[in-house]
Chain A
Amino acid sequence: MTALDPLRLTARVAKRLLVDGEISSAELAKVYLDQIAAVEPRVRAYIRVTHDNAAKYSTKVDREMQALRGPLAGLPIAIKDNMVTEGVTTTCASRILRDYMPVYTATAVRQVWDDHVVMLGKTNLDEFAMGSSTENSAFQTTRNPWDLATVPGGSSGGSAAAVAAGEALWALGSDTGGSIRQPAALCGVVGMKPTYGAVSRYGLIAFASSLDQIGPLTRSVYDCALLLQHIVGHDPNDATSVALPEPIALPDAQRLDGLNVGIPVEYLAAGIEPGVRARFDETVSRLEELGGTCVEISLPHTEYALPAYYIIAPAEASANLARFDGVRYGHRCADPVDLLDMYERTRAEGFGPEVKRRIMIGAYALSAGYYDAYYGRAQRVRTLVRRDFARAFADVDLIASPTTPTVAFEAGSRTADPLSMYMCDICTIPVNLAGLPAISIPCGLSDGLPVGFQLIGPAFSENRILQAAHALEGAIGFAPAPTFQDSGAAAPAGARTEAPA
């Protein structure tokens, strides 16, 4: 058996090796478990590695090859720790759920479990998916395998880092304001947020109910489509889930003739740093070389999307997180004097500062006298953002933008100013407000760190996006792998320590 490089292996290739008998599922799992052992002390992508499960289940897949077949069987996967997994503690990277043992499994996870994936473990995230760097995790900070002094992005930083670091073949994450796409961009992997409703949210620990979606983080666009195929579908357990009008197809496009792509001027004005802009422009050229046409478009209400998001998401979150009250599960403070004391101290002890901030903003925005000015207004801005996209898609097939304004930033460089952290998501948030699908693919390096290229489509245009991304991916030919270097505490010249103005 040839030595497999976990940093480069794709599900497509791994599946072929399994089917051809060149590797067993147990051996494949071991490749990843070995890589985890090697790099995890530095990357810290996992909250919990389920060694035993991975070893046992992969062996079982080998043994029962006839029964346990299918496109995903035997392929090792990491799951973001905000999806409940029966029998495996699920923490949401929060002290308040540190020992929570779910009594059911999220539908999307159930679907891939039923397809006989081998789960490697639960990955780190910003607490309750609130953040853009994974620094808000209560347990550990995940590091970007491209430069261990930097962040992997967030909130699905653990999943992105795990895939980038070869600690998983692929992973599931969740995206509320960019939490799959932004870390995918910073970690040089593919990440996709499906159309709102395409994947069941049942079992996804809710952050913002009208914005959350589960999606894949993978090493290739093909892998992304393959995993997406297996997590979509109407779920009777989720009243907001819908069946896709057409099934997800595995992409094979190599050209983009006839494809009209719009580039929103507002996104390019959003403080994109020069290296990111350069890679973006190069990718746009490639797009045109493949036969696509790129035009400038306008999404005039873009600048209002972030403020609207930072009302809607915290408002919904303030209600979604109210159930963490120490009554039925999770942390309860010691020796409560009375009920009120139990509530207040449990939640004060259990939640981190960013979570508290968002709960406070959310409760404030909904409170008596403020609803119309904040939540009511934000919901109207949301309509304007949706209309912007609808008008644009009357003229173009897809919209392209840099995924994030900067590459991975130094850990600790934005934690003092929440607003600077929020700015990471300026190109991703509007997509969630509109409920649209979008993908981020690596398009090059800047200062040695990956740059992401985002494609956005109309609702349920996943196949169109995947085809375009696949063709572009082929043309880009992103080759590098993370080096696990560490630029260290000393800020190198030109370090990105401040958010763009």
Chain B
Amino acid sequence: MIGEDDVRHVAKLARLRLEQDEVARMTGELARILAHIDKMSELDIADVPPTAHVLDVVNVTRPDKPGTSLSRADALRNAPAVTDDCFRVPRMS
């Protein structure tokens, strides 16, 4: 059963700032959703292989040939902050 500590932990993993009331509400919502999802545990499926890809395709690769890169202007076009042609981010603490 998912609790508020779990929710806070997962929010940290997902880099989502949740206020306390959000944590409480989210816990309730996720608990209800997960309860529904737990229906799957009825099934005995230990020997059923998982599907990671629905396609029966393998070995899709590309040759080692350079293509067109973005101009620097395009690369930085949407950047929230730029310094010396680099993307600027605040310091890690």
* The residue from B26, B39, B43, B50 contacting A376, defined by CB atoms under 8 A apart: B50
A242 to B53, CA, bound (A): 13
User: What is the size, in residues, of chain B's interface with A at 8 Å between Cβ atoms?
Assistant: 52
Using known A-B contacts A307-B36, A338-B93, A377-B41, determine if residue A386 contacts B54 with beta carbons closer than 8 Å.
yes
How close is A347's CB to chain B, nearest CB, in angstroms?
A: 5
Q: Are B14 and A318 touching (Cβ within 8 A)?
A: yes
Q: B5 near A: Cβ within 8 Å?
A: no
A151 to B28, CA, bound (A): 26
- Of chain B, the residue at the smallest CB distance from A237 is B62
Q: Are A338 and B57 touching (Cβ within 8 A)?
A: no
Q: Are B91 and A361 touching (Cβ within 8 A)?
A: no
Q: A294 near B: Cβ within 8 Å?
A: no
- Chain A interface residue bracket vs B: 35 or more
A433 to B16, CA, bound (A): 28
Q: Are B16 and A307 touching (Cβ within 8 A)?
A: no
Interface residue ranges of A328-355 to B (CB < 8 Å): 328-332, 336-345, 347-348, 351
* The residue from B37, B39, B54, B89 contacting A210, defined by CB atoms under 8 A apart: B54
A310 to B34, CA, bound (A): 9
* The residue from B38, B52, B54, B77 contacting A196, defined by CB atoms under 8 A apart: B54
Using known A-B contacts A361-B34, A419-B32, determine if residue A329 contacts B55 with beta carbons closer than 8 Å.
no
Binding site for B on A (CB under 8 A): 99-101, 103, 196-197, 210, 236, 239-240, 242, 301, 303-304, 306-308, 310-311, 318, 322, 325-332, 336-345, 347-348, 351, 356-357, 359-361, 363-364, 367, 373-374, 376-384, 386, 418-419, 422, 433-435
Q: Are A356 and B26 touching (Cβ within 8 A)?
A: yes
The residues of B that contact A325 with a CB separation of less than 8 Å are 15
The residues of B that contact A343 with a CB separation of less than 8 Å are 15
Q: B24 near A: Cβ within 8 Å?
A: no
Q: Are A348 and B36 touching (Cβ within 8 A)?
A: no
The residues of B that contact A422 with a CB separation of less than 8 Å are 33
A326 to B88, CA, bound (A): 10
Q: Are A374 and B14 touching (Cβ within 8 A)?
A: no
How close is A376's CB to chain B, nearest CB, in angstroms?
A: 6
The residues of B that contact A196 with a CB separation of less than 8 Å are 54-55
Q: Are B33 and A310 touching (Cβ within 8 A)?
A: yes
What are 28 A-to-B residue pairs whose CB atoms are below 8 Å?
A101-B77, A103-B75, A196-B54, A197-B57, A210-B52, A210-B53, A239-B60, A240-B55, A301-B43, A307-B36, A307-B38, A311-B40, A329-B78, A329-B79, A330-B78, A336-B90, A344-B17, A347-B17, A351-B16, A360-B10, A361-B34, A363-B13, A364-B6, A367-B10, A379-B52, A380-B48, A433-B54, A435-B54
Residue of B32, B49, B50 most packed against chain A (CB within 10 A): B50
The residues of B that contact A99 with a CB separation of less than 8 Å are 78
How close is A203's CB to chain B, nearest CB, in angstroms?
A: 15
A84 to B45, CA, bound (A): 40
How close is B56's CB to chain A, nearest CB, in angstroms?
A: 9
How close is A123's CB to chain B, nearest CB, in angstroms?
A: 22
* The residue from B37, B57, B90 contacting A339, defined by CB atoms under 8 A apart: B90
The residues of B that contact A374 with a CB separation of less than 8 Å are 37
The residues of B that contact A380 with a CB separation of less than 8 Å are 43, 45, 48-51
How close is A462's CB to chain B, nearest CB, in angstroms?
A: 16
* The residue from B15, B42, B79 contacting A328, defined by CB atoms under 8 A apart: B79
Using known A-B contacts A340-B93, A345-B17, A419-B36, determine if residue A383 contacts B48 with beta carbons closer than 8 Å.
yes
A361 to B11, CA, bound (A): 10
Instruction: Report, nearest first, the 7 A-B pairs whose CB atoms are least far apart.
Output: A435-B54, A379-B50, A329-B78, A344-B17, A332-B80, A343-B15, A348-B17
